[in-house]
A and B are shown apart, each in its own frame.
Chain A
Amino acid sequence: MDGLKARLNDSLQFRLSAWLSLVILLVATIAGSISFLVAYDEANEFQDDMLRQTASLFDGRHLPVQATADAARVPVADADARVIVRTLPQQGPRGDTPAFPSNLHDGVQTVELQGTAYRVFVRTLGSGPRIAVAQQAEVRNEAARAAALDALIPFALLVPILLVVVAALVRRFFGPVAALAEDVDRRAGDDLAPIEAGALPREIRPFVIAINGLLQRVAESISMQRRFVAAAAHELRSPLTALSLQAERLASAAMPGVARQRLDTLRQGIERNRALLDQLLTLARAQLASPGPAAPVSVQAAFRRVLEDLVPLIESRRIDLGLDGEADARVCIDEVELGAVLRNLVSNAIRHSPQGGRIDLSITPQGGHVLIEVEDQGPGIPEAERERVFEAFHREQGADGSGSGLGLSIVRTVVERCGGWVRLEDAARSPTGLRAIVAIPAASAG
């Protein structure tokens, strides 16, 4: 019951259906009752007329025969339904039919005889005898009820149909609203594009317009925050430059070994800051940029440029890094952004690789996309963690803290914006390790 009440309060569609059904039932009940009563009355009147007409068949010279065995032999479908005609007061032998008292007045009346109700029409023939034409009331009533019930059949048939039709119509009218809700529900978290209001009923449109206004304000506020992040990262560059230049100057001064050691640590810290700022700027730019048409870029060439910067790191960790096959493919993405994606994937792989480990890169065209894979032999990431590592500043367990925590956020932002996707899987070639797969729309050939 509470559930029903809740649904009544919650759903306009349900409320409309329920109330319309209720009104239909109520009207049908009243209309049915009225037509039942009218039909019942008419049937009764019709039967009274029949009694009158039967009585008019007699006059002073043609009196009804008294009940005989012959009369009883006339075949009728229902013995109780027989019309009985008698002269009053009763004469002759009394049969199985009741005797009517002589004090009945002329006209139609209901008389109870031996526990059975009769409808009786009494008529005085000329100045002499009186006759009574009678029929059992119960039989008459039954016939009248049957006739009246027949009048209800259309209601009985049409009301359920009407209820179903009303429910279907209401659902249909609310269809656009349900579709709209589903559409909004299906949206990605960062999809703030306005809702299409074209096909919606006029009553709903103001809501949609209001929601669109809200979406726009949210989009503006998000974009403002992102611009702020970009501007903040940017503004931090000058002081950081000053810091790193001073540290570099300091390094060229003469100093005791212990001081030099500490200065090296300091400079490593500054370097980490610089890397973090760069990543922050890359992410902010990727989030702010609108995906425009990009000239096709060769993935292999992009890998070459990225690896040029990473070779010293790869060498220092004695990592065997290589590209499988000499296949190349061209993709539709901004060159700088593709570089950011590859650099982050490869440097993640390097950071998590053991000394002397192996990193395999591959480029595979597949359907309309180009799959780029980077597989390492590091500890991998448990499946339950794999979604979380895409969050900004997420730290994996056991990570050495040298990463910015933004790499995979950048990868996902860039790749999804250009219509691709990124997925993490278990390594295919070694017992442990991670395989990062990125799909980017391929540039059409030619």
Chain B
Amino acid sequence: MRVLLVEDDTMIGTAVQDALREASYAVDWVTDGQSAATAAASHPYDLVLLDLGLPARDGLDVLDEVRGTHQPVPVLIITARDAVEDRIRGLDSGADDYLAKPFALSELLARMRAVLRRREGRGHAVLSNGVLSLDPATREVRTDDGGPIRLTRREFALLEALMVRPGAILSRTQLEERIYGWGEEVESNAVEYLIHSLRRKLGSAAIRNVRGVGWMVSRHD
């Protein structure tokens, strides 16, 4: 995997470059917008990490040029500009993800993996929160220490809703919407019943409840 790192801050650049190399990426590092555009045009990178506040040329300008030449390279913006409008502009300009400074290296690496996965079309592969992994193909769930456990259709629908984004809290209404199709009659306490049976199969800590707010599976990364 060859990554183009565009970052004008030396200390940040060094740390990111070292971390990426350690994670087995090949890294080319440029520090201004003009060199970034040139480098992106001259070599087919697997991923571009792009800072926005750059000397010579602004990052969004570089992104426009890269997208203008129809290069499908995934671009992950890393920047100190974190206002909502900035994020929207960045994503609208064709960035694949947006990471605001200050960020943690572990999060950067995770986002890079996600972007690459999406690009390879296996974005909806096995869902995992670090402890549980759910395979949509087989409707089986695996825990760290156990073999595959079969889930019923509704148990799977509920767990899948929670596992799409571990750490997200979903309300009863949101869960009911995922479990029942159009026109299906919602049974009262159906959510509690399904949670109860899932906990029996996966352990009581697998699904957390926040009183009055909703349910979630924790992130373990």
Binding site for B on A (CB under 8 A): 234-235, 237-246, 248-249, 252, 274, 285, 300-301, 303-305, 307-308, 311-312, 315, 320-326, 336, 361
Q: Which residue of B lies closest to A325 (CB)?
A: B212
CB neighbours (8 Å) of A312 from chain B are 218
Q: Which of B81, B171, B208, B211 contacts A311 (CB 8 A)?
A: B208
Q: Does B167 contact A (CB under 8 A)?
A: yes
Q: Which of A237, A285, A321, A324 contacts B101 (CB 8 A)?
A: A237
CB neighbours (8 Å) of A315 from chain B are 208
Interface residues of B in 137-185 (CB under 8 A from A): 167-172
Q: How far is the CA of A240 from the CA of B218 in the complex (A)?
A: 28
Q: How far is the CA of A300 from the CA of B11 in the complex (A)?
A: 41
Are B16 and A245 closer than 8 Å at their CB atoms? Answer: yes
Tell me the minimal C-beta distance from B212 to chain A in angstroms. 3
Tell me the minimal C-beta distance from A93 to chain B in angstroms. 127
Q: Which residue of A lies closest to B169 (CB)?
A: A304
Are B212 and A324 closer than 8 Å at their CB atoms? Answer: yes
How many A-B pairs have beta carbons closer than 8 Å: the answer is: 92
Evaluate whether A234 and B80 lie within 8 angstroms (CB atoms) in the complex, with A274-B102, A308-B168 already known: yes
CB neighbours (8 Å) of A361 from chain B are 212-213
Are A308 and B216 closer than 8 Å at their CB atoms? Answer: yes
Are B12 and A308 closer than 8 Å at their CB atoms? Answer: no
Q: Which residue of B lies closest to A362 (CB)?
A: B212
Evaluate whether A322 and B212 lie within 8 angstroms (CB atoms) in the complex, with A241-B80, A242-B12, A248-B15 already known: yes
1/0 per residue, CB under 8 A from A, across B185-221: the answer is 0000000000000000000000010111110101000
| Residue picked from B80, B84, B106, B216, most chain A C-beta under 10 Å | B80
Q: Does B9 contact A (CB under 8 A)?
A: yes
Tell me the minimal C-beta distance from A402 to chain B in angstroms. 18
Are B15 and A249 closer than 8 Å at their CB atoms? Answer: yes
Q: Describe A's contact surface by its main secondary structure.
A: helix
20 contacts between A and B (CB under 8 A): A237-B80, A239-B9, A241-B12, A241-B102, A241-B103, A242-B12, A245-B15, A245-B102, A249-B15, A249-B19, A249-B105, A307-B210, A308-B167, A311-B169, A311-B208, A311-B218, A320-B211, A322-B210, A322-B211, A323-B213
CB neighbours (8 Å) of A305 from chain B are 169
Interface size on B, residues (CB 8 A): 32
CB neighbours (8 Å) of A300 from chain B are 171, 213
Q: Does B58 contact A (CB under 8 A)?
A: no
Are B211 and A321 closer than 8 Å at their CB atoms? Answer: yes
Q: Which residue of B lies closest to A363 (CB)?
A: B212
Interface residues of B in 8-25 (CB under 8 A from A): 9, 11-12, 15-16, 18-19, 22
Are A238 and B80 closer than 8 Å at their CB atoms? Answer: yes
Q: How far is the CA of A274 from the CA of B100 in the complex (A)?
A: 12
Tell me the minimal C-beta distance from A298 to chain B in angstroms. 9
Are A245 and B12 closer than 8 Å at their CB atoms? Answer: yes
Evaluate whether A311 and B210 lie within 8 angstroms (CB atoms) in the complex, with A248-B15, A304-B171 already known: yes
Tell me the minimal C-beta distance from B6 to chain A in angstroms. 14
Tell me the minimal C-beta distance from B66 to chain A in angstroms. 23
CB neighbours (8 Å) of A244 from chain B are 102, 104
Tell me the minimal C-beta distance from A121 to chain B in angstroms. 110
Are A245 and B80 closer than 8 Å at their CB atoms? Answer: no
Q: Does B1 contact A (CB under 8 A)?
A: no
Q: Which residue of A lies closest to B80 (CB)?
A: A237
Tell me the minimal C-beta distance from B52 to chain A in angstroms. 11
Extra pairs beyond A245-B19, A308-B216 (15, CB < 8 Å):
A238-B80, A239-B11, A241-B80, A241-B101, A245-B11, A248-B106, A249-B19, A285-B83, A303-B213, A304-B170, A307-B169, A307-B210, A311-B167, A322-B212, A361-B212
8 shortest A-B CB distances, which residue pairs? A322-B211, A323-B212, A242-B11, A245-B15, A241-B102, A237-B80, A241-B101, A304-B169
CB neighbours (8 Å) of A322 from chain B are 210-213
Interface residues of B in 66-86 (CB under 8 A from A): 80-81, 83-84
Q: Which of B16, B22, B172 contacts A252 (CB 8 A)?
A: B22
1/0 per residue, CB under 8 A from A, across B82-95: the answer is 01100000000000
CB neighbours (8 Å) of A326 from chain B are 172, 212
Interface residues of B in 88-146 (CB under 8 A from A): 101-106
Evaluate whether A242 and B211 lie within 8 angstroms (CB atoms) in the complex, with A237-B102, A336-B84 already known: no
Tell me the minimal C-beta distance from A141 to chain B in angstroms. 97
CB neighbours (8 Å) of A325 from chain B are 212
CB neighbours (8 Å) of B101 from chain A are 237-238, 240-241
Q: How far is the CA of A303 from the CA of B210 in the complex (A)?
A: 11
CB neighbours (8 Å) of A304 from chain B are 168-171, 213-214
Q: Which residue of A lies closest to B9 (CB)?
A: A238
Q: Which residue of A lies closest to B18 (CB)?
A: A249
Q: Which residue of A lies closest to B209 (CB)?
A: A322
Tell me the minimal C-beta distance from A267 to chain B in angstroms. 10
Tell me the minimal C-beta distance from A443 to chain B in angstroms. 18
CB neighbours (8 Å) of B83 from chain A are 285
Q: How far is the CA of A74 from the CA of B31 in the complex (A)?
A: 134
1/0 per residue, CB under 8 A from A, across B10-52: the answer is 0110011011001000000000000000000000000000000
CB neighbours (8 Å) of B106 from chain A are 248
Are A248 and B104 closer than 8 Å at their CB atoms? Answer: yes
Q: How far is the CA of A301 from the CA of B211 in the complex (A)?
A: 14
Q: Which residue of B lies closest to A326 (CB)?
A: B212
| Residue picked from A238, A248, A361, most chain B C-beta under 10 Å | A238
Q: Which residue of A lies closest to B103 (CB)?
A: A241
